[in-house]
């Protein structure tokens, strides 16, 4: 057996084993946004296959039909143009691009992360802060905070207010839907909902340094009673997250375990964003200080839709 043959056999047998740990997470959505994005992915793939499959088939057919040993194939050494072929080669791709453009334009507006989800149930707000290298979740209404674990009830819209207290990051729960960037000094908004109970993997989808590979978290979706029990468990923690204790948490650390804070300062999220706004504008513009105070006061009082 030649080395090449041996290598091909090992490769054919080993590939399924290597791919055994892979999960089609995006194609197994558990939330409304994830389901719509799955449909969009499959539809786009099918439309593009209308070009890919015929091209592959024709490449094989042409190679066989016009092989050197086939003396029955027509030989036209001076042929160089065909309107029919040009119309097919250019017309079909242009039509597919047009259809994809319409679908993408429509879905971009319908799946806008900042657009609230239609529901008869009031959304729950969770403030998210990307740190080196961990995720901080603050619950303004419950006055608690957690590290690398977030929970919410099933079939209840969740409004994530997302920022970063370090370099740019990306917040992503693949089975629930859209990812969105977390940037210092900015308040990005993401609306998601879980339609099935479960524990879903969350991650950072943007490289952010040495501890990036361990920047994972768990998103727990359960019944309202499960969520209430989880909140009670978090509140039982003696640790408090205040402006005085926050710097120690914000310090760079890797592979951080889940941690609960039974009490969290209500204005912490606003102050994290506010310090970058002040740094970006060392010479205050007229009305800037007042705007800053209004924003931070609104966040501390839990006013919805404040930006």
- The tens digit of pLDDT for each residue in 193-239 reads 999 999 999 999 889 888 999 999 999 999 999 999 999 999 999 99
pLDDT tens digits, 265-298: 988 999 999 888 765 555 554 554 555 555 556 6
For residues 173 and 186, is the Cβ–Cβ distance under 8 A? no
Q: Are 40 and 107 in contact (CB under 8 A)?
A: yes
Whole-angstrom Cα distance, residue 131 to residue 250? 6
Q: Is 259 exposed, middle or buried (0-12, 13-18, 19+ CB in 10 A)?
A: middle
Higher-scoring residue by pLDDT: 130, 295: 130
Range 124-300 has CATH code 3.90.650.10: no
3-class SS of residue 48: helix
Residue 186 or residue 292, greater confidence? 186
Q: Domain residues of the chain, as ranges?
A: 24-64+83-111, 124-300
């Amino acid at each position: 057996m030649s080395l090449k043959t041996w290598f091909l056999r090992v490769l054919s047998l080993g590939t399924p084993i290597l791919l055994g740990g892979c999960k089609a997470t995006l194609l197994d959505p558990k939330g409304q946004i994830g389901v719509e994005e799955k449909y969009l992915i499959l539809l786009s793939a099918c439309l593009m296959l209308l070009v890919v499959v015929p091209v592959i088939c024709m490449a094989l057919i042409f190679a066989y039909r016009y092989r050197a040993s086939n003396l029955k194939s027509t030989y036209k050494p001076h042929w160089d143009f065909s309107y029919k072929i040009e119309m097919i080669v250019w017309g079909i791709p242009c039509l597919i691009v047009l259809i994809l453009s319409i679908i993408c334009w429509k879905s971009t507006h319908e799946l806008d992360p900042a657009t609230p989800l239609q529901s008869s149930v009031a959304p729950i707000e969770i403030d998210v802060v990307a740190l080196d290298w961990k995720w901080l979740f603050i619950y303004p209404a419950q006055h608690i905070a957690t590290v690398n674990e977030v929970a919410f009830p099933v079939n209840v819209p969740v409004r994530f207010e997302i920022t970063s207290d370090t370099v740019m990051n990306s917040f992503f729960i693949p089975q629930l839907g859209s990812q969105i960037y977390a940037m210092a000094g900015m308040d990005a908004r993401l609306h998601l909902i879980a339609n099935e109970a479960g524990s879903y993997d969350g991650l950072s989808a943007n490289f952010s340094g040495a501890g990036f590979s361990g920047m994972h978290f768990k998103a727990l979706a359960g019944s309202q009673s499960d969520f209430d029990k989880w909140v009670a468990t978090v509140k039982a923690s003696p640790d408090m997250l205040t402006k005085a204790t926050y710097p120690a948490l914000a310090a760079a650390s890797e592979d951080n375990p889940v941690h609960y804070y039974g009490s969290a300062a209500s204005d912490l999220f606003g102050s994290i964003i506010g310090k970058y706004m002040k740094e970006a504008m060392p010479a205050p513009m007229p009305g800037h200080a007042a705007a800053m105070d209004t924003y931070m006061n609104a966040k501390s009082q839990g006013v919805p839709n404040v930006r």
